[in-house]
Copies of this chain bind each other. A is one copy, B any other.
Amino acid sequence: MDVFDSLWPPDLAEDWDTVGLAVGDPDAEVRSILLALDPTDAVIAEAVVLGADLLFTHHPLLLRGVTSVSAGSLKGGAVHTLITNGIAQFNAHTNADSALGGVSDVLIALTGITESQPLVPHPDGSGRGIGRVGDLGDVSTVRDIARTLAERLPPTTTGVRIGGDPAAEVTRVAVCGGAGDSLFDAVRASGADVYITADLRHHPATEALDTANRGQARPQLIDVSHWASESVWLAAARDALDTAFADRGLSVALQSSAVNTDPWVERY
């Protein structure tokens, strides 16, 4: 736990969020961790098969409070499987989004940007915060960035989608891993030419494009798979955990989930 909390301090999480240990004994020894984006049934089954002691995820298992963990409920069934198999469940969510080296840091790095600032800086002035914005070394286009992301993100059924003008020139890039539709004001204020995020729906996307066309013709939009946008972070998280465990002389086996939790499997 101390290792997790030092990498992703729980007090960086948003007020509405749930982070930390959802299932398991905080004092139990952990020798084997499975890392995954979501605590879905397939992922939990994988943890059972692999004999993991702890399932580390990005998304929380119990975001909203429950008054029953009956095995007949979705969340309760997961709780039963985890406890019956002696598997703890821990997550780092908006605290991992906000931390240095966090979800948005890893996502913007796919575009080749290595120096960036938060879109919404944390009030503590530490340089941490939600989302990232930074400048490319050379001018590119929305289409070229979308192609680059399609190559570097894990493949998904939906792929990488462009909203607005694919040929628009891009110097400044904003990103938010996961669903970023609440950050449009910050993106516009940042001067970004393109905004890369996931799960954009019809209304926010069409209103953002009209707002862009009225003004300075930015940002164009790139929508990626929610799963893909955040799962790239898991490799980085695994490396960070590996180093942190080694630094403390702890021997913990880390494995990455082979389950793709993007819901879409075919398209026509």
Chain A residues at the B interface, C-beta cutoff of 8 Å? 18, 20-28, 38, 40-41, 59-60, 62-72, 74, 76-77, 79-80, 83-84, 143, 146-147, 149-150, 157-164, 166, 178-179, 198-203, 205-207, 209-211, 213-214, 221, 223, 225-227, 261-268
A266 touches B74 (CB 8 A): no
B74 touches A67 (CB 8 A): no
**Chain A residues touching B, majority SS:** mixed
B265 touches A162 (CB 8 A): yes
With both chains docked as a complex, state the minimum distance between the C-beta of A151 and any C-beta of chain B, in angstroms. Answer: 9
Q: Which residues from B are CB-within-8-Å of A198?
A: 202
With both chains docked as a complex, state the minimum distance between the C-beta of A31 and any C-beta of chain B, in angstroms. Answer: 18
A214 touches B74 (CB 8 A): yes
A223 touches B264 (CB 8 A): yes
B18 touches A146 (CB 8 A): no
Q: How far is the CA of A41 from the CA of B83 in the complex (A)?
A: 18
Q: How far is the CA of A182 from the CA of B263 in the complex (A)?
A: 17
Closest 8 CB pairs of A and B: A65-B65, A202-B226, A205-B263, A150-B268, A25-B71, A163-B263, A26-B72, A83-B83
Q: How far is the CA of A76 from the CA of B89 in the complex (A)?
A: 13
Most buried by B among A24, A157, A161, A206: A206
7 extra A-B contacts, CB within 8 A, seeds A158-B267, A209-B263: A25-B70, A27-B72, A64-B67, A74-B211, A80-B83, A83-B84, A162-B265
Most buried by B among A25, A179, A198, A213: A25
Q: Which residues from B are CB-within-8-Å of A71?
A: 24-26, 28
User: Looking across the interface, which residue of chain B has its beta carbon closest to that of A208?
Assistant: B263
Q: When A40-B206, A79-B83, A202-B226 are in contact, do A66 and B72 touch as well, CB less than 8 Å?
A: no
**From B22, B40, B160, contact of A267 by CB (8 A):** B160
User: 30 A–B contact pairs at CB < 8 A?
Assistant: A22-B67, A22-B68, A22-B70, A25-B70, A28-B71, A38-B206, A59-B203, A62-B67, A62-B68, A62-B69, A64-B67, A66-B66, A66-B67, A143-B266, A147-B268, A158-B267, A160-B268, A162-B267, A163-B264, A163-B265, A178-B202, A198-B202, A199-B201, A199-B202, A201-B201, A202-B225, A202-B261, A206-B263, A209-B263, A223-B264
